[in-house]
Structure 1
Amino acid sequence: MKRITLLFLSLTVLMSVVCCKNNDTQKQTDSQNEIQEDTIKIVHRDKAKGIEYNLESSKKWLQENKTDSLKMQIVLAVNRTDKASVGKIDSIIVPNTFDNKVEDYLPFPLQIEAIKKISKIIIFSYPTQTFAAYKNGTMVYTGPTNMGRKKDPTPTGLFYTNWKAEETTSTFNDEWDLKWNFNIENKLGVGFHEYILPGYPASHSCLRLQEKDARYLYDWAEQWVLADKETVKAKGTPVLVYGSYDFDAPKPWAKLITKPDALEISENELAGLLEPHVNEILKEQKNSENIRLQL
């Protein structure tokens, strides 16, 4: 009887020790996670200074630089166009130096500290016709876009990527093939995808991209997770579309000639635009992470 009692007591003590260790381990893991989350650091760096812009004949510039892929990439981004369309623009804006990265010629800030806990987000600026993708508050990609024309403006606000297709047909015209399409507004059929960039807002509500940019976002952003055809279990990557475009004024990037920083988007401006949405985004992000772990 004494042996049974001693054995029972030993097992009880052992279980208590194991339980305490498990609790301590869990607390330690939770603590590490909190520390890791709270210590995400944003390392700020200034954009390159000294970039100026001139207006040049597109025909002449293309003749002299058509084989220089780096210069071509930067000029296309600055003029919000693509290689197939740039020759149709009479005069293009050209920087005085090509020694910097593409992001130095475009207006988005390199970091947004206020969104460092948001794992992924894509932001489209209607006024500047550019987009940027951020991971934990640091820009990972940026480029030009041509958004909705005056008659068919792109809806603004907070959206989430849902379904995607390497190639699909436009709901507006079944003769238009859309490559690397990622839908953000299912009922309206609005998404970002590769299509012609004439150098101004010309789409029927969608967000047009150069093919390399569309392909990047296609691979980088996440699709939604569906329980059935009508029920969304987890949303995709948040997408903020903001601002408006003055269709009756000259192209905004023409201002770069007299004021090189005319279109710069400040970190504070974006933090203010995102502030009302941060809690919702973080809530959806946590739910998405939990759902995807179960897949």
Structure 2
Amino acid sequence: WTEKSGDDERTYRDRERYFKLKQYFIQESSKKDGSVIRPGRHIFLFRFQLPRQSYVILKLFKYVCLFVCFIQQPQSGTQDKRMKLFSSGKMSLTVSTDKTGYMQGETIRVFVDIDNSSSRDVKLKYSLKQQQTFIAGIRNKRGLKYIIEETRDRIPSGEKSKFIVNMKLPHDLTVTIENCRILKVQYELKVYLDVSFASDPEVRFPMVILPAEQQCCPWQGPPGGFQPYPPPQPKLVPIPGELPPPPAGLNDPTVLPHLGAAAGVYPNPHAIQPGFHPFPSAPVYDPKH
């Protein structure tokens, strides 16, 4: 972003890399030798050993567990206010939600309990605020946006009221970003009573917005069997030894492979091998419960 101060104009920028991976299956050819592989279709067999223990994976697993517990945690708060100027009595506001994290397009249910034992009429108001923070070095820039902002019924003096507020989230709402060094997207739910000529009693909660497709625990992968990785490789053969012939059609440029053709050639990546005992996994996260 660019900031101006008189004739002085400065632009601030930053970047952060999230992922980078390089694997060389064929070494680069020298200028003298030219191409090291003939035109056509080829199969390359390779293997690599996964570490038996990994501190990084264990640390990530603990973080994910804590995060899942956090977004499932209910929230509750109470704010009392005693009236002094031009009025008397007091009022009490109690707000609670069933959890902290909600998915795009989901409905936030807020339970509100109001005791207006004052001499003033009050109005119930609530809002969902989005704050974006951009960071470049020691400089930062903030932006505020109200996703939802509404006013409910008036609560007369001396009355008690209970409300269930349903806040429908947009399907294209930006998800929460907390773990990025240069960018943050945060949400705050605010429920308050509008009192004329006095400070408003209010309750604020941090809210987490999740992707709509996050129907399961993050470490179990997305639903529907989607695999963002390359297809599994053919079965490995002992070395030294003779490589098995390629599957029919793979070495024929006139035959195009299709999804079902590899079912008998490529092993199932999710199949459990004999003697392998996986660690117990957490139950699938169901947003309806």
Q: TM-score range by the shorter chain?
A: under 0.3
Compare CA radii of gyration and give the structure with the larger one.
2
Larger relative strand fraction: 2
Q: Give the number of the structure with larger relative contact order, counting CA–CA contacts within 8 Å between residues 6 or more apart.
A: 1
Larger relative helix fraction: 1
TM-score, with structure 2 as normaliser = 0.20
